[in-house]
A and B are shown apart, each in its own frame.
Chain A
């Protein structure tokens, strides 16, 4: 399957600082990437949809000024948590959409990165 990387895998920061998380599709181009948040023993909650070359679409209740998303190329999307607070501590996971056409209808799936664990002190 396709490979998606995230960097860093783990970050600890002080309250009030900003943290940038990178998501890369390594062997395919992704016009669409997604950012999720996951609390311990809970499912993934979609935060926003990142589209290359345009503004991200945020889910209801997600502050766009708090979670800045930039999708500058077909292989890279970044999530910046601005002025982080302890309640922002969580596991952040990105996914990249891999769409290919084919005789049998092609595929349209999302591949996930390994996640970034953010701890805000």
Chain B
């Protein structure tokens, strides 16, 4: 079983829709969870950083961690065409090693 699993999509939604991106992870000991956004041919950009359980909100983005089900989510409200990118979830595995999900390609259609 992979440590982090993510549906690669692609996911296509109309502008203004609420987007839900999800990952599952295997080890209940993981405590730090990240979401990165990567535009084509660019390096990943950190969007959200969450420690342990609960929600974290930043503007149109909300990150959610459910440790009981080992499920992490990223919600994007009022989605914009500029949100079109690949979104990668990641966990920190000891010694600061990041383990990434496969990434979900998201397209927001005007």
Indicate with 1 or 0, residue by residue over A100-114, a CB within 8 angstroms of chain B CB atoms: 000001011111111
Nearest to B43 among chain A residues (CB) is A112
Main SS class of interface, B: strand
Q: Determine whether the beta carbon of B98 is less than 8 Å from that of A46.
A: yes
Separation of A113 and B36 alpha carbons in the complex (Å): 13
Chain A's interface size range is: 20 to 34
Separation of A4 and B44 alpha carbons in the complex (Å): 11
CB distance from A56 to the nearest CB of B (A): 13
Interface residues of B (CB under 8 A from A): 8, 32, 34, 36, 41-46, 49, 51, 88, 95-103, 105
5 interchain pairs, CB-CB under 8 A? A1-B46, A32-B96, A34-B96, A95-B43, A95-B98
Interface residues of A (CB under 8 A from B): 1, 4, 6, 32, 34, 41-44, 46, 49, 91, 93, 95, 97, 105, 107-115, 117
